[in-house]
Chain A
Amino acid sequence: MQYWIIQTLNSLALGGLLFLLAAGFSLIFGLMRIANLMHGALYMLGAYVGISVLKYVPNLWLAALIGGLLVAAFGGLIERFILRALAGNSLGQVLVTLGISFIIADACLVVWGGDPIPVPAPVALQRPLVLYGVAFPTYRLVVLGIAIAAAIALHLLMDRTRLGAMIRAGVDDMQMARAVGIPVSRLFTIVFCLGAGLAGAGGIIGGPIMSAYPGLDADMLPLALIVVMLGGVGSLLGAFVGSFLIGAVYTFGTALLPDLAYVILFLPMIFVIAFRPRGLFGRQSV
């Protein structure tokens, strides 16, 4: 019983982290029509930067905020000065993000070394929460809560604000959005910063669960890809459902069939692509 509760919470916490990662990836893909292949690297960069920030600011949430802002700024610079130079050449843009992801990964290796760096959970959250004689890992519950809060905030942003309406217009029909005077290229920068910042903050919030290690980027990027392809590009709801689905498949797959967990992980995506190429909630085909 205890084991399955822990596994369920693990899967929900992983799903929450995946949402922080995949929401940005999905928005960037939906708006800019590019697959940001450095998204996993931004997640890892956030984790490492957060670890360094933690040395000066002994508060995980503040470190997540600062790390997220730094990664957002970094993403904004890349968008502004490199991706912008390749406007209209989406394959070129994707290849550049791939190249930058290699640079980031190797730079992290130089700066932070090759050994995994654990991130301690905040002291107040280290003791498990005991309810009805069952112990719940508190930090995972909090991560789940953060992800849900982020999902609600993003939903409100997209659904209730002028900025969100402009982004939705850009996702649905970019040329028409430009024609009616929406500053689409400024939206690109905003969405790219937002996505990068979410990924970076996710990296440090996920630190107490996953720690930071070389290769974290290559572990997370494919997860973001399958979440987005499963849920549908440009769809927040899709990213949300897809994240928790993949979080569950991954956690229980690893627990039940560790050898083939990776194969099981990709089955839902393959199914969806084969029978519904636009994903569960997507409006456009990948």
Chain B
Amino acid sequence: MKPAPWIVLAIALAGFPWLAGEYYVNLASQIFIAAIFAGSLNLLVGYGGLPSLGHASWVGLAAYASAWMSLKLGLGHWITAPIALLGTSLVACAFGWIALRATGLGFLMITLALSQVLWGTAYRWVSVTDGDNGLRGLTRPAPFGLTMDDATSFYYFALAVTVAAVWLMAMFVASPFGAALRGTRDQARRMSALGHDVGRIRWVTYVYSGFWGAVSGLLFVYYNKYIHPASLSITASAEGLLGVIAGGSGTLAGPLVGAAIIVLLKNYASAYIERWNMLMGFVFVFIVLFMPEGVVPGVRRLWLRLKAKWKPG
């Protein structure tokens, strides 16, 4: 791609807090968090052809781990963050081993069931998670003494993490490993015949995707300073999946756009009609029935058609 659009985008993102009010800056931070979440899920859904309905597990696990260690053990963020990420990735190793016994809808059902284990545990294991009350009284990290309690500094922190995450996920997809992953999505048996270890490729992707889900979970708990079992629910996983397919699965930009659409819809729906779940249901049905490819590929197709029309001759 030409550099000009990138420079414009970079200036727009960097300058956003100067132009917009605090409400919108916070909204943008939420979009970044959702974008990492949807982007990481897209590695599985879009590039691996493995539809997961349990991705909220990683958000919740990382968030709960970080919250529990700082509340009950009094540990600082510099140690809770790596332990939360590592621990969540290890759980992803185990879950991936179980869930990848199946593909397709079996995979979807197992990931859903496994994430329900964690959801139910978060509700019931009151001595650890405080059940329905959730864990509150959390703080945001202050790396190098820089406080992040105001909207603008958290925005830049979330932006930096998101840029790094998206870049690393893009590298992953563009790498030979990413090419092999797409091969297992399109022609698993041929990839196997070519000597690729299909199961291992999928498992590595599952864990890598879980890792970035955990990163978005840490950002989530830093942003809200609160974590509730609802963050692990089917609804939370479905929101991420809806973001991926609404934007366009298997494209890099799609889930980011989809996540932005979902966050904006959710904010407006919660503020004005208080029927977010119903609206989300209708959006699901609408997208699947009428726009199965997603917004980004749809718009791109329209754009190419327009360009072809305007070309002389």
Interface string of B253-290 (1 = CB under 8 A from A): 00000000000000000000001011011111100110
Are the C-beta atoms of B125 and A259 separated by less than 8 Å? Answer: yes
Pick from B105, B238, B285: contact of A91, CB below 8 A. B105
Residues in A with CB closer than 8 Å to B116 are 222, 225, 262, 266
* B: contact size bracket: 35 or more
Chain A nearest CB from B112 CB (Å) reads 6
Q: Which chain B residues numbered 109 to 139 have a C-beta less than 8 Å away from chain A? A: 109-110, 112-114, 116-117, 119-121, 123-128
Interface SS, A side:
helix
Chain A nearest CB from B135 CB (Å) reads 16
Are the C-beta atoms of A102 and B280 separated by less than 8 Å? Answer: yes
Query: Does B160 touch A at the CB level, under 8 Å?
Result: no
Pick from A33, A101, A110, A285: contact of B102, CB below 8 A. A285
Residues in B with CB closer than 8 Å to A137 are none
Query: Does A179 touch B at the CB level, under 8 Å?
Result: no
Interface string of A93-137 (1 = CB under 8 A from B): 011101111111111001000000000000000000000000000
Residues in A with CB closer than 8 Å to B241 are 95
Residues in B with CB closer than 8 Å to A102 are 235, 238, 277-278, 280-281, 284
Most buried by B among A102, A106, A259, A260: A102
Residues in A lying within 8 Å of B, measured CB to CB: 33-35, 37, 82, 85-86, 89-92, 94-96, 98-107, 110, 218, 221-222, 225-226, 229, 258-263, 265-266, 269-270, 273-274, 277, 285-286
Question: Would you give 15 A-B contacts (Cβ < 8 Å), ordered by A?
Answer: A82-B289, A90-B104, A91-B51, A100-B285, A106-B277, A221-B234, A222-B116, A229-B113, A259-B121, A260-B121, A261-B124, A274-B101, A285-B102, A286-B109, A286-B110
The 6 closest A-B pairs by CB, nearest first: A99-B284, A262-B120, A286-B106, A102-B281, A103-B281, A106-B278
Q: A91-B104, A218-B234 are in contact. List 16 more A-B contacts (CB 8 A).
A: A37-B112, A96-B288, A102-B277, A103-B277, A103-B281, A103-B282, A218-B233, A258-B124, A259-B121, A260-B121, A260-B124, A262-B119, A262-B120, A263-B121, A269-B113, A274-B101
